[in-house]
Amino acid sequence: MTPSIQLGLVAGDGIGPEIVPAAARVLEAAATDLFTIDWHPLPIGHEAIERYGVAVPAETLAALDRLDGWILGPHDSASYPAQLAAAVPPAGAIRKHFDLFANIRPARAWPGTDPIAPRADLVIVRENTEGLYADRNMFAGSGEFMPTPDVALAVGVITRAGSERIAREAFRLAEQRRRHVTIVHKANVLTMTTGLFRDVCLEVAGDYPDVTVSEQFVDAAAAHLVRDASIFDVIVTENLFGDILSDLAAELAGSLGIAASLNCSATRAMAQAAHGAAPDIAGTDTANPTALILSVAMLLRWLQGRHTSPVFGEAAGRTEDAIGAVIASPIRTRDLGGTASTTAFTDAVIERIIGTSSRRRERGSTRS
């Protein structure tokens, strides 16, 4: 019996209505003869504001809760009406509502992208619910406030529970890769907060004896990424450090336009590219859909673990192979030095998937 999954399709703002359908088209092609997809289009951002008066309607959250996973486009909250622009942005609201505590951000140099760090192949495992992020580190209200017009304060939150669960994600991932975790912190200055994060990660390391563990201050880690990104396998760090280092690593590996990202917990997962809404090029058919397509491949691998079915991993492999082949060809989007439109690039990826799948079936038929 062919498996079937239900996925949310949340276009969002800016280039979202272009790259989200592109990613869905690629997934449909990769899923051919493996599984079927029941799509659930849902609004956030400007579309939701027009229909519901809020950027993240309760109806959207309720619908997402019933699905196997979802694909989220970027948001442009700076362009919302003033009272909504000051609220928690849509992606943050969704992450907080579903407690998507792990943000997994790979940085891999793909041939054809002219990377600064051509040997980069690492993953940053970013804690997604605590740290200095005012929109997600408090039960109610904001962790950032101003007691007077001339003084601004921020509360940084690090907990043992939050540190332990992100550490376990990092060590489990390292077991599937090159078995090396680097704990990044600033415990020489933030001794209690990032010191607790470091200490808990080191405690968790004891449960993974086959994984080598090291630690670095965040400033040193940034310098070492620039000098030689290939020395890193899995980096685990707190929220703010992870956000900054993952953007740096993405640019070193080629471009934010190829920076995939998965937000997940043990029971929920959301494919969301690391880049923003790029409203300046919205509607021009020039956006690079690669980051979101690769984020969807990450979602498929998460689903493989969740459903213990190899078909999702096979579809992820088809997607990644096709992306690699097209990027290495002259068919590249403008940000990667090419001239291909969003549509043309997506078409090329789909053609590659279909052609490769057809050749596999032909070889199988010949052998039988």
Active site residues: 133, 186, 219, 243, 247
β partners of residue 154: 144
Segment 337-341 long-range contacts (CB within 8 Å, at least 24 positions apart): 337/114, 341/285, 341/286
Structure tokens at 172: 């489990």
Query: DSSP per residue over 155-216, as a string?
Result: --B--HHHHHHHHHHHHHHHHTTTSEEEEEE-TTTSTTHHHHHHHHHHHHHTT-TTSEEEEE
CA distance 280 to 71: 22
331 with 344: CB under 8 angstroms?
A: yes
Provide CB contacts within 8 A for 67, sequence distance 6+.
Answer: 6, 7, 8, 40
Q: Give the end-to-end CA distance of the chain in Å, rounded to a whole number.
A: 22
> Which residue carries 């923003």 as its tokens?
276
CA distance 57 to 160: 32
41: closest CA among 23, 21, 25, 19?
21
